[in-house]
A and B are shown apart, each in its own frame.
Chain A
């Protein structure tokens, strides 16, 4: 029996785009144990939100993650609108869901490219990212920026969609659907790519349910759960769409689910553009002070369901913002799915949940409570405490 070697991967490693540490126990080439250790990308964003009014929180929550920025603002707006008891005009809901689906398109295409790169299939990576530019240009034209769209505001959206932009978007869909069909063919037929993803990172269905996994990672193990259908929000009740699941339970299944979801999102974008209602796109009179109370809001981000919990205390600033990003739910299951496969499969198995560690590491550190008792610390002091601590303990001068 080969003795067990302990192989630490991360927090800095070529295949990890963001800092996260995984400890693997390997015997020869086979992995027998896996543990994860996150928290390296923790920026105290929620603490920051408590010192900003609701509108400013939007732009902080948008920067939790570069790829799914719209999901966080959508979930936060829904939670705040529940607290305010606001009624969003239908056109606003449609435009918000339009950008949601466009973001799912470019996020899944991005993942397909990154997964191909993890297994050394760089041509597919380059080609997929070339065609992703179609969606990125569309988003840039609509919202004014490729990444942080700042498209959501409390009560609706900030910009309207002109007729000319609408037709341009419709034209963009045709080549995108055709190219995605071509990539589906490549993904399921290229033998060297198949050899690396078929039968790797297995996660049986019952285990997926127990570990409360979410998003395409769970749907590829046969778990029929999608927040867009279970908890209809935004404009999803008005759209008909299919929830894609399959029983592959391995990375091949996750590639299939995500590629088919791209096609499904294209259909939804087409539906939304054709039946875009007229009228207002943002609620007229929005109060800046949010009444006291707590609200939970669910949103189906590209990686899974994203939960925002906002507690208001009647002032302009939220009392507590808790964000649970989808990657947090999938990480433990991803570690477990690696056990049994080879060392060479670690990158693709971890990448198969489309990890976004910047989303996962933002739990708050210190609560600021100006009204009810001693003031503890502000974000500024927390920042200097960090700088000071590293200077004393690690001798690092920022």
Chain B
């Protein structure tokens, strides 16, 4: 199944500049935030529909969202989100599986999926303070007062 090299189809879909290929044959595609939806629709056309997860990272100058898709080929969409407008269009319409992961990135990174059907707490406890997004670099935790227990180390 993997023998068919997907280089041809993918270069047709994405501008050459954004498409890079890792040593292991996985594709990394830089995608602009607004063109995310039709990029996913394009992948769906090729039969690559299984969104594995959404990885959110704080790269200090901007946030980076990676959308790894597993199908006949492995394509990861990289979406840069600038810090002052932390939103991303939701994929709930085209890929139902994305609902869970979009809730997760909203909880931990504060990137709100615009148009998400059912934004609930996914990972953090209900009484987690609203404004604190733990994965961000500039988050501050109140200094702990209790000394660590256990053994004498």
Asked whether the complex places CB atoms of A and B closer than 8 A, the reply is yes
Which A residues contact B (CB, under 8 angstroms)?
A: 35, 37-39, 42, 82, 85, 207, 209-214, 225, 227, 229-232, 294-296, 298, 305, 307, 309, 311, 320, 322, 324, 328-329, 331-332, 361, 363-367, 369, 372-373, 376-377, 380-385, 387-388, 391, 393, 398
Which B residues contact A (CB, under 8 angstroms)?
A: 1-2, 22-24, 26, 49-53, 55, 57-58, 60, 66, 68, 70-72, 74, 76, 95-100, 104, 108, 120-125, 127, 134-137, 139-149
- 15 A-B pairs, CB-CB below 8 angstroms? A37-B120, A39-B122, A82-B24, A211-B96, A211-B97, A214-B52, A225-B71, A296-B26, A296-B74, A307-B70, A328-B100, A332-B99, A366-B134, A381-B144, A388-B145
* B123 close to A38 (CB less than 8 A): yes
Residues of chain B within 8 A of A366, CB atoms compared? 134-135, 139, 141
Question: Which residue in B74, B95, B139, B143 is a CB contact (below 8 Å) of A298?
Answer: B74
Which residue of the partner chain B has the closest CB to A373?
Answer: B137
Residues of chain A within 8 A of B125, CB atoms compared? 39
* B137 close to A369 (CB less than 8 A): yes
* B53 close to A324 (CB less than 8 A): yes
Q: How far is the CB of A286 from chain B (nearest CB, A)?
A: 17
Q: When A329-B97, A387-B146 are in contact, do A227 and B137 touch as well, CB less than 8 Å?
A: no
* B100 close to A332 (CB less than 8 A): yes
| Bound CA–CA A324/B68 (angstroms) | 11
Which residue of the partner chain B has the closest CB to A44?
Answer: B134
Question: Which residue in A229, A296, A328 is a CB contact (below 8 Å) of B76?
Answer: A296
Q: How far is the CB of A6 from chain B (nearest CB, A)?
A: 15
* B52 close to A324 (CB less than 8 A): yes
* A307 close to B146 (CB less than 8 A): no
Residues of chain B within 8 A of A212, CB atoms compared? 49-52, 95-98
Residues of chain B within 8 A of A309, CB atoms compared? 55, 66, 68
Question: Which residue in B51, B74, B104, B137 is a CB contact (below 8 Å) of A367?
Answer: B137
